[in-house]
Structures are given as C-alpha cells and as structure tokens.
Amino acid sequence: MLVLPMQIYMGHLALPEALGMVRHYFGDCTVDSSFEEALRAVFVDGRLSPAALESMCADFDDVAQLLEALGQQKGASSGCAGTTAAGSGSRR
C-alpha cells in the first residue's frame, strides 16, 4: 500500500457539519433530538477539524462516549482555536 505524506486543509467544523458526520458514523436512529441538544452543549464551532471528529467517531462505540469526550475536551480548552486533544475516555 502506498501512503502519501500530504494533508488537505478542509477548515474546521461548525455544529451542522459535526452533526452530519456523527449521523453518518452512528446512524440516524441513534442521533435523536436529545443528542442534538447534548451536542450543542459540548461542541465548540471552529475547534475540531473534520479529521479529528472522524477519528473520535471511529474511536468510540456509541454517541454517549463521544459526547463525554467532547465535554472533557471543551472543559480542558486551552483557548487556542483549532487545537485538539484526542478524545479520552472509554475507547474500544
């Protein structure tokens, strides 16, 4: 397999894009209105790149674990937009 060392900058996510990505990974049936409200409470627009959120979605088994990691990340904010710490918590 050929691995090319390049990155494509795609900007950072806002809530609508993050919600769409989470729906894609976990399915519409697990992402209901209560999840949307919980995501609004912990998600910071412009903080995560699409790759960072994709990695977090792959790391966690369910949306509750993802929300917990996003909440911890928000609480540990260093005030630097665009910086991310890989989600911590219960992982596969």
Every domain of the chain and the residues it spans: 15-75
What pLDDT digit, counting tens, does each position of 42-79 carry?
999 999 999 899 999 999 999 999 999 999 988 776 55
Amino acid identity, position 83: T
Cβ atoms of 10 and 49 within 8 Å: the answer is yes
81 φ, ψ to 5°? -65, 140
**Do residues 80 and 48 touch, judged by C-beta distance below 8 A?**
no
Say what the pLDDT of residue 30 is: 76
Q: Determine the pLDDT at residue 57.
A: 94
pLDDT per position as a tens digit, 4-48? 777 666 789 999 999 999 999 998 777 788 889 999 999 999 999
Query: Rounded distance, CA 62 to CA 91, Å?
Result: 10
Q: What is the mean pLDDT of residues 72-87?
A: 57
CA distance 77 to 54: 19
